[in-house]
Structure 1
């Protein structure tokens, strides 16, 4: 019970920090009306003050609500299909947000701190700039029903790992949709009314005061994400619609030129050895500009903060310049590292207002001018910088061992990772207090060794792969994930699977060589799990377009350590490539020794990070000599895999982990039973059908046929023709295999034939797996199955014929 209470308050704190928890009626006291269930339980709002009250109310059938706290803003789309489309757009545009699924649609949570967002207010059924109808909840004005165990169809489906982004401008309200509905019919999967609808939306946006620039950007986003069918409807059509609508309503506005004032550049004074260029001056800690009007100098206020550029960084990986910008706020000095574009582009500089910097629509132009002139008159000290960890060109980046290179962490999520790579205790105390308590458990040892191995797989020329620890609840999976995290830092390195694909990509890219640790697959969407497995093992983020071209793709080369109640292989049974990228560890990693687990948790609280740094130093000093040893381990496991294609591909990955254990044992005096690690490979091969994908497919096909024998052609042609059974031989129909195996068909049939699971014949110097079969007066092309294998698996397709039945 306590765990449930904590989970609700903790989740509310994560999604809606400082949100007040409200007592909602729910289905208490005989209420069965959904609308009434969402209302407060009394005439006035009642707030919960502790977890016990929440739990007791939920047990009675009550619901809980949360008031939107200051600094946040919520958009509610009451159409599931449009909500899913908007979710795809936000993920594709890398907008950090949370998502809650409701019975009617989706709710999106953003940051709401700027004046532009706050001006949106709270409303119902307004059409936004994308043409989607939405409701909103403003800070301290609205509330939502928060997902609990008794709110059917309502749950959190995505949570941003980084700091939330401000409400995007394309979600600003435009007109009242109750009076004038949106002209759009998303998604446009056929040609339909695309042309007319986009023209109508363009005209309405411009009529309602949206600028041509913002209207065009919004419509281009709608085109990219909401129009699957783009034949005869190129992107250029969108601009034509906007131009045509603009002419129609005689929009005569022209956008103001963003020209930087032609100030005379010379030194006006000094401040802490920093040159302040004229016409700017610093007075009482604020920035002013001086303008001469009829020979009289007039002082104009610019900003209450003076932005000093203190360092210049050059990205090691790509041509990029960043600056450290510093300003005083009271008695504190605030420093932010930003790309060079931030101090040159109006929109990007305005985003620093979120950090407390005094920039707004009125002074942004002058601040850009000031910083441009400041760079001309001040020579900044130059530094090298990286924007992620691990292998970067010829260096390995870790905050404890990297010198002379600044590690950037611009996003909140990246800062959390960097702050988690800390050290407590020593490598010896970690071995004695943490590893000592798991060393007798091969699966736990293998999982933790994988955390070490993550930083060396790039040197071993391996692609990223996954080690998946699965089993029923309360078997120590999360404990062992925490042990794996303790190799490199504290538990802040761990995340839940309940995250968006984009956020997982970004975290994998920032960690780069360090392990990505994800807990509890049941909290993730099944589709996301399958997509992440493929995307992660490719080591490169999904290619995404932008309005100007293509977004930069992220890369990584590390190991994903995952836990869950169900093996990741089960989420993509019919995807052969998945099994070849996952090392599955099934069932309890630790014996149920309550006292030992408590001591293990205490040990991990006091010992983390130091052992990983010690291992890194050993590896970096000796890797040239050690890498040759790895190939012996790889050959050993390739020989063990024999002809199993999936195990053959896993052999290199498994060998890397075993090899890492050998390095730790021989170079760092670890007590590791390497024979138990080797034996575990055999257990994986025997326990997991997914590691023998061709046999798994054959087993599934025979199971399907066994359960639908009416589809097998014995004496009478079935309506759905899957197979023929004649004289003790089973023949599979090619069309059935095409439907069942999909894209895996050719590779699977080739592997079956190679391994003798089907009966082939030689034809013009090559083997084919099909033959003509005459049955009941017709000839069919069929694929004969090896009946010895069928019987070995445990199937018998012999059936008593009608004549035999009459003679019994």
Structure 2
């Protein structure tokens, strides 16, 4: 135990001697059954705030298989080489040049400790090339820590300790460019055969020059590489370095701050490219006899494209670049996916935007962009390509966030531009809302526009509020008032749209309402699919060559208008009724033309402010108010009286009602919310679509009543749809399948459960069909309960004339 304690004290003493002022910290190591090296290096707790460990504590931790770390103190810097061969090359170079340092052998390479007390400051970086072609990680003074060698760190030990005063970190070991951004580039040291040493060395020196590396460091780096990393110098005398370096040093480094180019945000135009007369040129080089290099400048493009920013999508791992170029005096900015700058086909598409790209120069431009990314620190930012709830935040075009809203196409850009503010909240309330709040249908419609942003937090699925009435009754006016909550009337879309268009607008608006005017303009065959697609909250799954596209999602409210309810277009789709709140009456009653004139004048001057303020207040107070929603929800569910469809609709009514309560609380807007309660009762009573199975049965019976020639009484008709026997009607399965379509089984099951049809048992299973004889023939039929016929008021008894 005494010997172990002494060993621990010696470990700490060496750490303090090699890193004067270091602090010993606790690392996870292979304790607690951890077997992952990446986790083993992690500190336990907040290492910056931790106390320096004592020898006793270190001994206890080491016995539990923990590791210890040593922080990098002021006056010291650590250079880490993670390649064993390259690390050994550097070790031999330092010893050959007489540079005093400490060295630690690691499982993957080497760590070198130098003094660092002078400028320039060095950042903590990873996998950066140095001027001698070796990639290093840096751990600057007072930044980070290293794993300290102990009995628990196999393959990690102190290799050498300098007995002399440590030298400052040599300039040729300062990081120059990020090797992670040039993974396709390899500097082949050491040179073990004659090969293309001259060309490789020139290419490496040219890259150093393009990074604006000081000339003396380039020269020093090239000479050190020649001296230590080129083993066979038989036909490569040191005199060949002079013309090589002269060719490199003649290359011009173009800076972005030159007034003639006006190129924001980029430090260096990468060599061999340069700017001449505001055009992009490339310096082409070729070796000539005698060891020299001949160069000439060739124009690549009449414009100089600059990568202004690198933007990462907040929602998914996708990178975009913001390009900028000068086109005849106008600065053009364009956002493109990262793949565009690497693919000829995609890059040429930018020609439509005025970019000077074609079949001839696309390959060179791709190389130019690759080098620009490699040799420049591009400003990095974040972006979203839609609005509404994005992870834990909510994006609104007029709310400042730490990311940009950058729509993917012009259609979405138009929607973003429609989010504008004019006037004030008070003026909108006085001149718009106060004029419509006494009209229940219009009030509900406008409150639904506010309610759209609540769906995400309330976990409510998307739904539709459909306002229907005859022509010129104010439907479009009500829709524009709903749009004025968030912006201009440009937020209103025509129903003359494709299914894909509806999907994309829904996904882009995400949490904000989708406003669709006049369902009469839509293809009737598509309306039912519109209902299901939107209320599903997810776009159609589509395949790609390598898999499937990302499915877009949304959680908002669609506000629609039309002369015929959307329920009618989906008459046989029972599920549609549970997705649509149908307001089938004029939104404004007992008003004259001056009412609409005043409304439209007010909308021009007042829009957008109230929605933005509502959003701000909601985000600030939502945790306080959301629990109150559930009381409203329970109230409407109790009014549903167990009706399945009405129960689902009650959630939607509760959401809109809750939005009204929040408006009263947040903005002090006066309104009679009891009118919404009454509206629910009226719609529940009048809207037959709420009981879709019964409505379909009535439609079927009414059709048969008007076409009795298809009912088999005493003589068989040409097309038998039903039989009349025992004073009741019996339907044939073939007719039911034809009339009910894909939902036949579901509707028949509902009829049976509710007693609309007569049931029997077959093989201990309740069924709605039976085999009967009629006029000497056997038929399989579904018999309608006589009481239902009486309730509907139909009598199919045949009246025989004498």
In the superposition, the TM-score normalised over structure 2's length comes to 0.65
Deviations 1:240-259 (A, max 9, x none): xxxxxxxxxxxxxxxxxxxx
- The match for 1:337 is 335
> 2: distance between equivalents of 1:743 and 1:459?
35
Larger Rg: 2
Superposed CA RMSD: 1.9
Unaligned runs of 5+ in 2: 1-202, 211-252, 258-265
Deviation at 1:643, TM superposition (A): 4.0
SS for the counterpart of 2:456 is coil
> 2: distance between equivalents of 1:704 and 1:440?
41
- The match for 2:588 is 590
> 1: distance between equivalents of 2:665 and 2:756?
44
SS for the counterpart of 1:544 is coil
Deviation at 1:762, TM superposition (A): 6.6
Does the Cα contact within 8 Å between 1:396 and 1:402 map onto a contact in 2? no
Deviation at 1:513, TM superposition (A): 0.6
Given the alignment, which residue of 320, 323, 335 partners 2:318?
Answer: 320
Deviation at 1:737, TM superposition (A): 1.3
> 1: distance between equivalents of 2:511 and 2:276?
48
Matched, 1:769 2:762: no
- The match for 1:281 is 274
Deviation at 1:549, TM superposition (A): 3.2
- The match for 1:529 is 527
745 and 643 in structure 1: CA distance in 2 versus 1, 3 angstrom threshold? farther
- The match for 2:86 is none
Deviation at 1:302, TM superposition (A): 0.8
700 and 608 in structure 1: CA distance in 2 versus 1, 3 angstrom threshold? same
Matched, 1:509 2:507: yes
SS for the counterpart of 1:434 is helix
Q: How does 1:76-91 map to 2 (within 5 A)?
A: none
Deviations 1:587-615 (A, max 9, x none): 21113421111111111111111111111
SS for the counterpart of 2:381 is strand
> 2: distance between equivalents of 1:733 and 1:548?
49
Deviation at 1:766, TM superposition (A): 6.0
Does the Cα contact within 8 Å between 1:486 and 1:607 map onto a contact in 2? yes
SS for the counterpart of 1:549 is coil
Unaligned runs of 5+ in 1: 1-261
- The match for 1:638 is 637
> 2: distance between equivalents of 1:314 and 1:269?
28
Does the Cα contact within 8 Å between 1:774 and 1:780 map onto a contact in 2? yes
> 2: distance between equivalents of 1:787 and 1:654?
36
> 1: distance between equivalents of 2:502 and 2:275?
44
Does the Cα contact within 8 Å between 1:385 and 1:407 map onto a contact in 2? yes
> 2: distance between equivalents of 1:430 and 1:517?
19
Deviation at 1:744, TM superposition (A): 1.3
- The match for 1:79 is none
> 2: distance between equivalents of 1:682 and 1:724?
39
Q: How does 1:211-226 map to 2 (within 5 A)?
A: none
Deviation at 1:319, TM superposition (A): 0.5
Deviations 1:721-780 (A, max 9, x none): 222222322222223212211221222122222323223357787643334434333443
582 and 377 in structure 1: CA distance in 2 versus 1, 3 angstrom threshold? same
SS for the counterpart of 1:679 is helix
- The match for 2:443 is 445
Deviations 1:176-232 (A, max 9, x none): xxxxxxxxxxxxxxxxxxxxxxxxxxxxxxxxxxxxxxxxxxxxxxxxxxxxxxxxx
Matched, 1:271 2:256: yes
> 2: distance between equivalents of 1:796 and 1:665?
54
Does the Cα contact within 8 Å between 1:342 and 1:349 map onto a contact in 2? yes
SS for the counterpart of 1:432 is helix
In the superposition, the TM-score normalised over structure 1's length comes to 0.65
Greater RCO, 1 or 2 (C-alpha within 8 Å, sep 6+): 1
> 1: distance between equivalents of 2:351 and 2:493?
29
SS for the counterpart of 2:334 is strand
Q: How does 1:602-613 map to 2 (within 5 A)?
A: 602-613=601-612
Q: How does 1:354-753 map to 2 (within 5 A)?
A: 354-591=352-589, 592-753=591-752
Deviations 1:326-377 (A, max 9, x none): 1122332211111111111111111111111111111111111111101111
Deviations 1:266-297 (A, max 9, x none): 41331216201111011111110011244432
Deviation at 1:644, TM superposition (A): 3.0
Deviation at 1:481, TM superposition (A): 0.7
- The match for 1:153 is none
> 1: distance between equivalents of 2:400 and 2:775?
77
SS for the counterpart of 2:611 is helix
SS for the counterpart of 2:454 is coil
Does the Cα contact within 8 Å between 1:388 and 1:407 map onto a contact in 2? yes
> 2: distance between equivalents of 1:578 and 1:631?
25
Deviations 1:414-454 (A, max 9, x none): 11111111111122211111101111110001111111111
Number of positions where the alignment pairs a residue of Structure 1 with one of Structure 2: 542
SS for the counterpart of 2:457 is coil
- The match for 2:246 is none
SS for the counterpart of 2:397 is coil
